[in-house]
Structures are given as C-alpha cells and as structure tokens.
Amino acid sequence: MFVRTENFRTFTRLYPIITALTVIHIVLWLFIALSFPFSNLFYQTTVGFNFAVEQGEWWRLITPIFLHGSLTHLLFNSISLILFGPGLERILGKVKFLALYFAGGIIANIATFLLKPSMYVHLGASGAIFALFGIYIYMVFFRPEHISSSNAQIVIVILGVSLVMSLLGGGMRNINGTAHLFGFLSGFALSPIFVGRGNYTRSLRDIFPRGMTQRRSGSSSQNVVWIILIALVILGILSQF
C-alpha cells in the first residue's frame, strides 16, 4: 500500500489528486523562495496569521495548506503525501479524498486560530496530512479489510512518532502541534462518513502478535520501508519551518 512501484506517467494517471496537490506545493514554494514579482505580497496575504483572521481574512484558514516555509518542510509533506495519499485516493475516490484532505487541513487551522495566540503565524499541509493518518488509524481498527496488518504496523509506528515529537517539540522548533493533533482527530472523527462502519474490529494483539519477528512478513524490504518512513517523519518534524 505504501511502497510506490509506478513510473511517473502511471502515477499521475492513477492518482491525479495527489499529483495536482504535490505540483501546487512545489510551484508555490518556488514562486515564494525565488522571489518572483509579487511573491512577497502573495505570501503576506495567504500565510496563516491569527490576527488577520480576527480581522475577517477567513481565506487564511485555507491558503496555508498549500504553503511551506523551507525546502525540508516542502519535501517532508510532499513525500508523505506521495507515500500515504495514493492508498486513500484509491479507496475513497477522488472527490472524497479531496474533501477529507481539505476538511482536515481547515479544521487544523481553525483549531490553530482558536488555541494559539493572536500573533501566531503558521503554514504547511501537515494538518491535512495528519487527517490522512486519522482515517488510516480508523481503518486499522474498524475497517481492517482495507489495510493489512503489516501496513497497519507502519501506520501506528509513524503516527506515534509523529504525534509524540509534534507535541513535545513544538515549543522549541516552531512546530504547530495543535494543527497536527486536530488534523489527526478530524480525520479519525470523519472516517465513518468517508469509509463507513465496519462489521468487525481488529485489536493491537492482531496487529502486533507475539513472535512477529519470526514471521516472513518481517523481510528486509519491509524493514527498509519502515526505516525510510520513520526517518522522513523525524527529519520533517524536527526541521525549522
């Protein structure tokens, strides 16, 4: 589910929403980073800024989803979207996936507006991406027919690392842990609407059985995927946005 084997042309054909979002991320970051004409004005009027939202600039609850503050920030969110988005775009379909993505990002930004200081400034797609983790966690336990145990292990470990480091490191590294947390919660809460209620549940014991290290699923290729994903999470969360 999370290992990409498609070539570029096949990927763009199968996952047009993921492709479009990633292109928008890259184009807007280059537009601002390379200081094109009016790029500074564009940044100043679209970045998340709680005081401006208080003054009625409500579009700032949406536009920060497309912006990134550094190359590392851009790469982390875009690669996360490319790794974790396709499975959901296939399961949900294009319209539902896009609805979930924006709902998670907007709810995360609303939480940031309500819980962060008036002069707080923020940007990034992290809230929307954590909404994807939210629906994955729901499927792990309540719609297990959509996600295998080995992929469920990856989701749980990556989410655990991400949330812990977001909440513990936010004060030092300008990480918007509020957006991460509420993005995840929104994705989880909205999951029954998007994937429905299942007929049976799966427990942690089913996902992490005793003696799992002796199972064939613990192959070297699977271990490489784990290492890469965890490294990406740590790199992205610890980067100064």
Query: pLDDT for 30-65, tens place per residue?
Result: 999 999 999 999 999 999 999 999 999 999 999 999
Residue 236: the pLDDT is: 62
* Any domain includes 217: yes
* Any domain includes 1: no
Residue 166 phi, psi (nearest 5): -65, -50
Residue 214: the pLDDT is: 46
**Whole-prediction pTM value?**
0.88
At 140, the pLDDT band (50, 70, 90 cuts) reads: very high
* Any domain includes 85: yes
Residue 128: the pLDDT is: 96
Residue 218: the pLDDT is: 47
User: How many residues are recorded in the chain?
Assistant: 241
- Marked catalytic residue, from 180, 186, 191, 239: 180
- Marked catalytic residue, from 78, 80, 126, 166: 126
Q: Taking residues 167-193, what's their average pLDDT? A: 83
Q: What are 120's two structure tokens?
A: 């707080």
* Any domain includes 2: no
Q: Is the pLDDT of residue 166 over 90?
A: no
Contacts of 5 (CB under 8 A, 6+ apart): none
CA distance 159 to 230: 9
Closest by CA position to 181, among listed 107, 121, 232, 118: 107
Q: Residue 49: which CATH number?
A: 1.20.1540.10
**Hunting for tokens 């049976």 — which residue is that?**
200
**Hunting for tokens 């401006």 — which residue is that?**
52
* Any domain includes 3: no
Q: Taking residues 117-139, what's their average pLDDT? A: 95
Closest by CA position to 115, among listed 29, 38, 182: 182
Residue 127, domain extent: 8-238
Residue 191: the pLDDT is: 96
Q: Is the pLDDT of residue 185 over 80?
A: yes
* Four-point Cα dihedral 121, 125, 131, 132, nearest 10: -170
* Any domain includes 181: yes
Averaged confidence pLDDT in the chain: 87
Q: Is 122 a catalytic residue?
A: no
Q: Is 73 a catalytic residue?
A: no
* Any domain includes 38: yes
* Any domain includes 42: yes
At 9, the pLDDT band (50, 70, 90 cuts) reads: very high
Count of the separate structural domains present in the chain: 1
